[in-house]
Amino acid sequence: MAEKPDVVVVGGGIMGVSAAYWLASRGKSVVLLDQSGIPNAAAASGDHLRVFRLSYGKDAFYTAMAMKSLPLWLEWGAQANESLLLQNGVLDLAVTARGYEEDSFRVLKEMKVHAVRMEKGELRRHYPMLNTRAIKYGIFHKDGGMLWASRATAAVCGLAQRKGVRVRTQTKAESLVRARGKILAVKDSEGKQWKAESFLFTAGYWTPQLLKPYKIPLKVTRQQQLYLRPPINRGRYRPEHFPVFAALSQGFYGFPLHIHGFMKIGDHGKGPTAKPEAGAQITPAFERKCRAFLKRFMPELSDFTESEGSVCYYDNTKDGDFILDRLPGAANAFVACGFSGHGFKFAPLIGKTMAEFMTSARPELNMHRFRLSRF
């Protein structure tokens, strides 16, 4: 490397490429390191799709964050000349009269986000595949939809490179060189030291190991997801006819047809604590759980015969909130992690916030909720 950059970003998932983009936009020279490729299929941002929703129950703070993130996603799509966010809507399915969905509807209305409550009859007319005997009502907001996750990660990486970010893949950061209350360098698996004026760690599930001296309170969990081909009526599961759906009280969420005629279903509940491994497969128990959910809510899908599964890993905090902060005792080092399976949608805002924070500008986002000190 010819000269020491202003910033080394460690971790090339969506948060890393976003932060690199915004740091370069603020005039910083940036080197981005990732231990794999960009995107990385095992990372939380490496799958085909992630949900973009504005519904967060009573938590208006996250709804406001999603509202701020929306125009940034659309701007990235315009810059990349690529569709990164498909706004085909999000449908939250309520199984009780009171709870998360009712709270979401109230907050969306208060914040002037267009949302409608759909009773059983209307649900049947619009979405005849739903078993409305299992559903009290639905909440639909049209501004939500699906983010093309791996495509977006690659696209934003490209936008960052246009701004001068130097990307080094297959470069595994393994240890830190520290002295006098600062990080001097990151040492990779080949023994090379990557020096910079400051450092940002956005390493996802790799964070606890890489930042072991700082005891970042994260739990890494193994998350399973299943892709299935509808056995009948495939046309009505196309994105123009069927939205992203969620029954979060049951743990499940899913997407319409999106790749090779397959649709995705996942369990948002936290999986078992696990060490990431290459080639991990879903379990028969998870497939049975998916079939049981579908039999209850979308019976015609439950007898699918064509499917495949995949596994990714979440870096979770105890409270489900993120960590966006300076590393304790390291004046020139920062961390963005603990996205707990729901951070992807906020990536442009989080990257922008970290770039502002690291360059002594006043962040648009109030970061108090995401401080490490809360633990």
- The per-residue pLDDT for range 352-365, each reduced to its tens digit, is 999 999 999 999 89
pLDDT at 16 over 90: yes
Task: Give residue 228's identity as a one-letter amino acid code.
Answer: L
Q: What is the pLDDT of residue 40?
A: 80
pLDDT at 156 over 80: yes
Question: Cα torsion for 337, 343, 349, 352, to the nearest 10°?
Answer: 20
Buried b (16+ CB within 10 A) or exposed e, 56-73: bbebbebbbbbbbbbebb
Q: What is the pLDDT of residue 140?
A: 98
Q: What is the pLDDT of residue 259?
A: 84
The per-residue pLDDT for range 175-198, each reduced to its tens digit, is 999 998 999 999 999 999 999 999
Lowest mean pLDDT among 139-148, 275-284, 325-334: 275-284
Give the phi and the psi of residue 205 in degrees, each rounded to 5. Answer: -65, -15
pLDDT-derived band at 278, boundaries 50, 70, 90: confident
Q: What is the pLDDT of residue 42?
A: 65
- The set of residues, in sequence order, having a beta carbon less than 8 Å from that of 182 and lying 6+ positions away, is 330, 331, 332, 333
Can you point out the beta strands (E) in the chain? Answer: 7-10, 30-33, 49-52, 85-86, 90-94, 116-118, 137-141, 145-148, 166-168, 173-179, 182-188, 193-195, 198-201, 219-228, 244-247, 252-254, 263-267, 307-316, 323-326, 333-337
DSSP percent split of the chain into helix, strand, coil, nearest 5: 30, 25, 40
Rg, the chain, Cα only: 21
- For the chain, percent of residues with pLDDT exceeding 70: 98
Q: What is the pLDDT of residue 2?
A: 53
Question: Cα torsion for 171, 175, 178, 181, to the nearest 10°?
Answer: 100
pLDDT-derived band at 1, boundaries 50, 70, 90: very low
Instruction: Compute the average pLDDT of residues 200-206.
Output: 95
Q: What is d(CA 188, CA 39) in angstroms, rounded to the nearest whole number?
A: 19
Q: What is the pLDDT of residue 33?
A: 97
Q: What is the pLDDT of residue 239?
A: 96
Choose between 215 and 275: higher pLDDT: 215
Buried b (16+ CB within 10 A) or exposed e, 218-235: bbbbbbbbbbbbbeeeee
C-beta contacts of 58-63 below 8 A and 24+ residues apart: 58/103, 58/107, 59/107, 60/107, 60/110, 60/111, 61/369, 62/342, 62/346, 63/107, 63/108, 63/111, 63/113
Closest CA to 347 of 89, 127, 159, 111: 159
- The kind and range of the H/E element at 293 are helix 284-297
Is the separation of the CB atoms in 311 and 282 below 8 Å? yes
Q: What is the pLDDT of residue 70?
A: 98
Mean pLDDT of the chain: 95
Q: What is the pLDDT of residue 39?
A: 86
pLDDT at 279 over 80: no
Instruction: Compute the average pLDDT of residues 203-217.
Output: 94
Tokens at 95, concatenated: 């199984």
Cis peptide upstream of residue 39 (ω within 30 degrees of 0): yes
Strands 333-337 and 198-201: parallel
